[in-house]
Structure 1
Amino acid sequence: MGIDGYVLTGLLPQIAGDLHVPEAAAGQLMSVFALTSAIVGPVLGALTGRFERKATIAISLAVFVVGNLIVGLAPTYAWAMSGRVISAVGGALLSAVVAAYVIAITPPERRGWALSVVMGGFLAATALGVPVGLLLGEQDWRIPLFIVAGIGTVALLGILAFVPTLRLPALPLRETLRPLTRGPILTALLVPVGLMGASYLCFTYAALIIGPRTGLGLAMVGVLFGYGVFSFFGNMFAGREIDRNGPDRVITTIIIALIGFMLLGTAGLALPGVWGIVSILVWFFGTATFNGGSGVSLQSRLAMMAPDSVALVVALNTSGMMLGSAIGSAAGGAALAAGLPADMLIPLASVFLVMSLVVHLLLIRRGDKKPVL
């Protein structure tokens, strides 16, 4: 999933040329994945709450693999879009069920760290798999999709062989859905929307922002590798800090830091030569570090707010992130189509972050949570 989530961003020109669509339209292959995940994740999370967890993980991963095979074999843009929708259905449920599984088997005082280990696997795959995928994708953008399907199949076999079965206490559907009626939880979901909106507004079109300064090909591969490495370490550090200080303080630090790096990136656009390259890379790797820590922080907070409906609220968190990803990549595509230079996507992303900070601080001030971890 780490490879699948990021590798296409570096291959937009190849995808657009092969499928005979504009680059902005190629970027919408990420948008439709994110939007589908946002819609179906909570629904499937709620409806499968009574299912045995191992089987649910295996089925959702199998659907994800099939969707990627369809994209890899797609003869047209419509087929590629269909495959992205199918893979999003499997991926959305997979994310929610795996997180709920980990929370269920981990002592409360270690849940932040445990979630960061799982997320660390995602980000390590991004760091290692994306560069390899991009190198092979330079020859044919479809190859990384087949790599994803192959690794997913190996993972599926490993899950079937080694992951213990787990059946969680089944709540009535009405009780499972109760978090949807709680104002603080719905408010909290606006934060991942804003954070991912800012991230994907830039990241989807990173090749168009960074490429003219560093070059594409191997240079872009190295930059994306660095993004994955910095995200990994940011995630692991956030996991430890959550267990020490709680998720609210960690989320505050993350948002403020991201705003600072966006301002730095905006200033760096005006610098010539080497200094411009350094500034844009500091922006990219800085945002990677703090974006990497955001996922586990947001998951932990929602798990604290609704401990009896973890699968649902984690799915809602994923939906918020995916919805933000869809909004961000769609907004970036619309801005480019309207003639806005790619460089201006960075200050535009700052607007999402400021709104996220305001919502987050209002939520803390209200203090209407049930701390149980």
Structure 2
Amino acid sequence: MSEEWSFRPLIWLAVATFSTGIDGYVLAGLLPAIADDLHVEAALAGQLVSVFALTSALAGPVLGTMTSRWERRGTIGLSLAVFVVGNLIVGLAPNYPVALGGRVVAALGGCLLNAAVTGYVIALTPIRHRGKALSFVLGGWMTATALGVPVGLALGQSSWRFPLILVSVVGTIALIGILLRLPQLHLPAGTLADRLRPLRQPQLLAGLLVTTGILCSSYTCFTYATIILSPAYPGGWVIIVIMFGYGVASMLGNAVTGRLVDRFSALRVLTVVLIGLLVNGILGLVTFAFAPLGVVAVLGLVWFFAAGIGNGGAGVPQQARLGALAPDSAAIVMALNGSAISLGCALGGGLGGVTLAAVPTYGLLGVAAVILAMTLALHLVVARAKVPETV
């Protein structure tokens, strides 16, 4: 497979993941406006975010299993169309129940889309290009991480509905490109029981828990990043710029590890990333707990951006590793991985809230470091799986 054939069609998959990334970040910054317009409390408006994550976590494995034998391009197109329709429903919703229903529809399309896209890239791309291909496609989501907050704030100044319309427009453009430019992909013949058989592997299930651990540790701090950084950077556009910098750091980590996976093994790259995240978390904890404010203003940013690099860089080697553990069940495995991601995000946000109520702010970094240490230990156990390392 030539470089041109490998990457040009994948542009449309990157655009699709960009649209899902914007959707994931934009609503959180617009909840007060949504609550006011739909005449509900802010806490109830926040359920528009929660119901998306919950639906994704529960429906992802089911839809991934049901569609595992479908032609992949068609599955991607259908899921993206459902995602677009769901966002249009939310963007045009006259009341809260309709908006909530739209979020459920969008989640059904989004969770299947992410799993189908990753499975497509793993199945279609030769091993020597797989890391770069995953990095390229997931780069759309990472770009959305960097742009989601400022784009959402800018467009949301006029109406919170505009960002949802933007997501639908971008998703529609991606859908047209996918249907016109992406080659079809039929997975090897086999029964559904054959595809589900790898899920009996304890190593694979433990590997999915590694995903949950990474995201739980990340969101324990990321959800409350403005609170952690507020002593040195008390709000305003400075925080927005810092969040933008975090997104750029995530993009950098994603790009670097995508190339490293093609040069080394996904297992080794992920091990280095997890060790780096743990060391960075411990240094950050020491900084926020004991350093004077002037030092925190500098080293706090170093910790935050380094975390962005590590969290952004963990995605490609982790997905490549899971794909290697069950190469014939990529669609199902990636759907389960999506659920593991949603579960980790939800657990991290909840655990962070409980931590804030009990200990000083820097305790969030301590909790995140403990979770990372446990995740690293579990990853090392998974690494002993008797499965040939092919990526």
What TM-score do the two structures reach when normalised by structure 2?
0.86
**Partner of 2:386 in structure 1?**
368
2:185 to 166, 170, 178: 166
Spell out the pairing of 1:340-351 with structure 2 (5 A cutoff). Answer: 342-351=361-370
Amino acid aligned to 2:186 = R
Output the CA distance in 2 between the equivalents of 1:367 and 1:266.
33
Q: Secondary structure at the match of 1:216?
A: coil
Q: Runs (4+) of structure 1 moved beyond 6 Å?
A: none
The Cα of 1:16 is off from its aligned counterpart by: 5.8
Output the CA distance in 1 between the equivalents of 2:93 and 2:358.
30
Superposed CA offset, 1:85-142 (max 9, x none) = 3222111111111112112221112211111111112212332343222233355444
**Partner of 2:162 in structure 1?**
143
Contact preservation (8 Å) 1:238, 1:296: yes
Output the CA distance in 2 between the equivalents of 1:56 and 1:169.
16
Range moving further from structure 2, 203-212 or 314-323: 203-212
Contact preservation (8 Å) 2:122, 2:320: no
Structure 2 CA distance for partners of 1:168 and 1:264, relative to 1, 3 Å:
same
Q: Secondary structure at the match of 1:214?
A: coil
Superposed CA offset, 1:260-289 (max 9, x none) = 222233233344444222232222211110
**Partner of 1:51 in structure 2?**
70
2:326 to 303, 306, 326: 306
Output the CA distance in 2 between the equivalents of 1:3 and 1:99.
18
Contact preservation (8 Å) 1:9, 1:206: no
Amino acid aligned to 2:219 = Y
Q: CA RMSD in A?
A: 2.5
Output the CA distance in 1 between the equivalents of 2:364 and 2:46.
14
Q: Secondary structure at the match of 1:168?
A: coil
Output the CA distance in 1 between the equivalents of 2:56 and 2:184.
25
Structure 2 CA distance for partners of 1:313 and 1:370, relative to 1, 3 Å:
farther
**Partner of 1:180 in structure 2?**
199
Contact preservation (8 Å) 1:198, 1:353: yes
Contact preservation (8 Å) 1:138, 1:217: no
Q: Secondary structure at the match of 2:375?
A: helix
Output the CA distance in 2 between the equivalents of 1:78 and 1:317.
29
Output the CA distance in 2 between the equivalents of 1:5 and 1:69.
15
Matching of residue 297 in structure 1 with residue 314 in structure 2: no
Amino acid aligned to 2:273 = I
Superposed CA offset, 1:119-170 (max 9, x none) = 1122123323432222333554443222212211221222223222222223
Structure 2 CA distance for partners of 1:144 and 1:272, relative to 1, 3 Å:
farther
Contact preservation (8 Å) 2:231, 2:293: no
Structure 2 CA distance for partners of 1:305 and 1:297, relative to 1, 3 Å:
same
Output the CA distance in 2 between the equivalents of 1:29 and 1:340.
29
The Cα of 1:371 is off from its aligned counterpart by: 3.0
Amino acid aligned to 1:367 = A
Q: Secondary structure at the match of 1:269?
A: helix
Output the CA distance in 2 between the equivalents of 1:212 and 1:71.
36
**Partner of 1:286 in structure 2?**
306
Output the CA distance in 2 between the equivalents of 1:317 and 1:94.
13
Amino acid aligned to 2:311 = N
Structure 2 CA distance for partners of 1:188 and 1:280, relative to 1, 3 Å:
same
Structure 2, unmatched stretches of 5+, are: 1-19
Range moving further from structure 2, 188-197 or 307-316: 307-316
Matching of residue 100 in structure 1 with residue 119 in structure 2: yes
Structure 2 CA distance for partners of 1:124 and 1:371, relative to 1, 3 Å:
same
**Partner of 2:3 in structure 1?**
none
The Cα of 1:232 is off from its aligned counterpart by: 0.9
1:198 to 210, 217, 226: 217
Q: Secondary structure at the match of 1:367?
A: coil
Amino acid aligned to 1:190 = L
Q: Secondary structure at the match of 1:189?
A: helix
Spell out the pairing of 1:43-82 with structure 2 (5 A cutoff). Answer: 43-74=62-93, 79-82=98-101
2:233 to 193, 214, 227: 214
Structure 1, unmatched stretches of 5+, are: none
Contact preservation (8 Å) 1:255, 1:353: yes
Superposed CA offset, 1:323-367 (max 9, x none) = 11121123234445x465555333222222121011111222x33
Matching of residue 317 in structure 1 with residue 337 in structure 2: yes
Output the CA distance in 1 between the equivalents of 2:296 and 2:23.
30
What TM-score do the two structures reach when normalised by structure 1?
0.89
Matching of residue 231 in structure 1 with residue 250 in structure 2: yes
Range moving further from structure 2, 25-34 or 233-242: 25-34
Output the CA distance in 1 between the equivalents of 2:363 and 2:29.
19
Contact preservation (8 Å) 1:305, 1:369: yes
Matching of residue 130 in structure 1 with residue 134 in structure 2: no
Output the CA distance in 2 between the equivalents of 1:79 and 1:344.
39
The Cα of 1:79 is off from its aligned counterpart by: 4.6
Range moving further from structure 2, 241-250 or 259-268: 259-268
Output the CA distance in 1 between the equivalents of 2:36 and 2:351.
22
**Partner of 1:260 in structure 2?**
279
Contact preservation (8 Å) 1:65, 1:148: yes
Structure 2 CA distance for partners of 1:243 and 1:82, relative to 1, 3 Å:
same
